[in-house]
Amino acid sequence: MPRNPAPVVVRLAASACAVLGVACHDHIPSAPTRVAAASDQIVSCQADVRAHTVSCGASGAPVTTATTSGFAADVIVGGQNTNVLLKSTNVSYDATAQIFQADVTVQNLMTPTLGTADGNTMSGVKVFFNAGPNVVSGSGTVTVANADGTDTFAETNQPFFLYSEILPTGNTSAAKTWQWAVPTTVTSFTFDVLVDAPTAPPRATTCMAQAGPTITLTGVHTTEYHNPSLANTKVDASTAQFMTGSNFPVRISGAHLCWHGGEIIGQLPPSTSWPTMIKTFAILVDTGSNVTVEDFSMFDYGNGVSLQQNAPNYTVRSGYYIYDRDGCVENDYALSGTIDDVYMECYSPIADAGGFAGVDGRNNLVTLKNSLVHLQPMDGVFKGSIPGTVGIFEWGSPSDSTSPHLALFNNVFRVDQNSAEPYLAPPPGKLVDCANNVMIWLGTGPFPATLPLTFNGRTCYTVMTGQAGLDYWNAAVAKWRADHPSLLPDIAPPVVSLFSPGIVGSTTLSGTVNLTATAADDWAVGGVQFAMNSQNIGAEVLTPSPLTKYTLSWDSTTLPNGTYTLTATARDTSGHSTTSAGVPVTIQN
C-alpha cells in the first residue's frame, strides 16, 4: 500500500475559544479528513492587566465563558472549525518587572499531524501574533517580551512562539510561557493570534522509519507466520498475503516491533457461530511494549489485531478491517494504546473487556482518532437478535472501575441497529477528551443511546440520520479507500451462506418467498445466484439490502412440490466464486 504524504502547511486563525482555553462548537465536518484552510475570522483578544484575565471578542454575538485557567473567553459562533486548542495557566502580572505572562499549551484537534511535513521529521508548531499588542486603556507601549523569533506570516517581522514538537491528533504540547512587556501605566491591551504549522496526513508516519533490522515477507503464505523474537525489528509485509485457513495466521512478539502491511484473509462462512469465530485471530501480539501494527487489511476473522497481557502502549493505524466477526482491536487486558486512521466493519469494534481476573486499566488511556467505525451486524452473535452486534465500545459494566479511559477525535461512526450490549456511546465516566466526531444513525427512531454532544465546551458528537447520514458515510468511506490504495491482487473468493431459510426462516416454501443469502468479500461481491438442486432459479442478485444480505423474491410454484437442496453462489468482481452449504427445503403448494 503506497504512501502519498502530500504535505501541506496550514495557517489557522486561533478563535477566541482556542486561544483562551475553551473550544468552538457549531461544527459539522464535511469529511472525515479535515485539513483546515486559513480562517476567515481573525479574533481580537483583550488582556486586563489588573484583573489578570484575557477576553476575546469577534463578530457573531460572542458569549462570554469563564474558565478555570485565569482567562475569560468568548465562544465564537458560526462556521469556524475547531482546529487547535490553546490552554493557559498561571496568568500573572509582575509590576516590578512590568511583565504580564501566561503558560500556554497547544492541542491539535485536526486530522493531520502538526509540526512535521513528512510524519517523522520535527519542524514544530508556531503561534504568531498577527496583530498587536495594541494598548486600548492607559498609556504606553506593549511588546511581546520573550518571542522565539520573528517571521513572515501575513506581514514581515511577526513575533512567534515555537513549540518544538510533533503533535498528532489529540496530543497536547508542553506548556510554554508567553510574556508581554507591559508598563504599569497600561491597564488593557489587545492582540490577534494565528497558528502556523507544517502538516502530514496520518499515513505519512510509519514505523518503518525507526531504527533496527528489517524482515521482508512477500507473496502468498499458506502457513502461519509465528515469530516471538522481533524486539526492535521491522517486518515489511507490504506485498504479503496470508490465507492459511488457520486460527493464528500471524503471531508476533517483541518490544518496539513494527509490523507494516499485508493482507490476512479468512475463509469461514457467515453462518459460523460466534464461539468459533472468537477463537480466530488475524494478528496476535503476545508480548512487547510499544508495538505498532500499520497499513494492513484483514478479512473475515473473529479478532483483528489482538493485544495480549504484556503488550502495552500499542499503536494500530491505517488498517482496514473487513467483515470482522468479533473485536477489531481486541484489548482484553485494558492496556493503553492509540488507534489512528483505521476503517472498521466490525461486530465489536473496540473490545476492552475480556473478563479476565486481576486486570486493572483504570490508569490507562485508549485514544481513537481519524477513523471510520461501522458497527456491522453479523449472523453469528453472542446474544440478541440475528443479525446483531454488541456495542462500539465493549468496556465492561457501568460499575467496572478498572476499565481504561477513552479519548475520541475526528471519527465517523455508523450504527445500523440497536446493539445487544453496551456501549453505543462512550462508556459512563470514561471519556477524558473528545472533539469533532460524527455519529451516523441508520436505524429507526432516535439514536438509542445518549451521546455527549459537547465536551469541555466544544463539539464532541454530531448526529446525522437517514439518507443524508448514509451519503456522508459513503463519501467518507470513498475518501478513505482512495487515500489507502492497495496494490495487492485479489486472490480469495467470497464467503457465503444461506440466511433465510438457513439461520432463520422456514424451510417449507409456499407461494412467493424471499430467499436471502449473506455474502462478503475482501474486495467486492459482484452478485449472488440462488439454485435448487444445482439449477439456477431467478436472476442473479447484484445489490445487497441491507449490507451483506442478498435477497431473491421467488415464485415457488415454478417447481413441483417436493424436497430440494437450496444453495447460493457468490462471485466477486475478480471472478472468484463460492457456493454455500446446501439447506434442505420443501416446496409445498
Predicted local confidence at residue 138, as pLDDT: 95
Distance CA 57, CA 52 (A): 17
Predicted local confidence at residue 110, as pLDDT: 72
pTM, full prediction: 0.81
Residue ranges and CATH numbers for the domains of the chain are 8-202 (2.60.40.290), 215-345+368-381+406-483 (no CATH), 495-587 (2.60.40.10)
Distance CA 334, CA 307 (A): 9
Distance CA 82, CA 25 (A): 7
Predicted local confidence at residue 42, as pLDDT: 55
- Would you call 576 helix, strand, or coil by DSSP? coil
Count Cβ atoms below 10 Å from residue 214 Cβ, excluding itself: 11
User: In the beta sheet, which residues pair with residue 497?
Assistant: 518
The dihedral over CA atoms of 352, 356, 359, 362, expressed in degrees to the nearest 10, equals 40
Residue in this structure with the C-alpha cell 482496514, named with its chain if needed: 320
Predicted local confidence at residue 17, as pLDDT: 31
Predicted local confidence at residue 58, as pLDDT: 39
What does the pLDDT look like over 178-206, one tens digit per residue? 999 999 999 999 888 777 888 876 677 89
Predicted local confidence at residue 182, as pLDDT: 96
Distance CA 60, CA 57 (A): 9
Report the candidate in 136, 186, 135, 191 with the shortest Cα–Cα distance to residue 159: 191
Predicted local confidence at residue 245, as pLDDT: 95
453 dihedral zone (left: phi>0; alpha: psi -120 to 50; beta): alpha
Predicted local confidence at residue 44, as pLDDT: 62
Q: Give the start-end residues of each E strand in 430-505.
A: 431-435, 437-441, 454-455, 458-459, 461-465, 495-500
CB 272 within 8 A of CB 247: no
Question: φ and ψ at 433, to 5 degrees?
Answer: -160, 150
Predicted local confidence at residue 33, as pLDDT: 32
Mean pLDDT by 10 residues, the chain (589 residues): 34 35 29 32 72 60 28 24 69 94 83 81 87 93 96 84 90 93 94 80 81 97 98 98 97 97 98 97 96 97 95 95 96 94 96 83 93 97 95 83 92 96 94 94 96 91 96 95 92 98 97 98 97 98 96 97 98 97 98
Q: Give the start-end residues of each E strand in 14-155.
A: 44-48, 53-57, 63-66, 72-75, 84-94, 99-108, 113-114, 125-138, 143-144, 149-151
Predicted local confidence at residue 29, as pLDDT: 30
Residues 6+ apart with CB under 8 A from 399: none
Predicted local confidence at residue 219, as pLDDT: 97
What percent of the chain is helix, strand and coil (3-state, nearest 5)? Answer: 5, 45, 50
DSSP letter for 363, please: T
Distance CA 38, CA 509 (A): 63
CB 381 within 8 A of CB 420: yes
In which element (H, E) is residue 277 found? helix 274-277
Predicted local confidence at residue 75, as pLDDT: 22
- Would you call 492 helix, strand, or coil by DSSP? coil
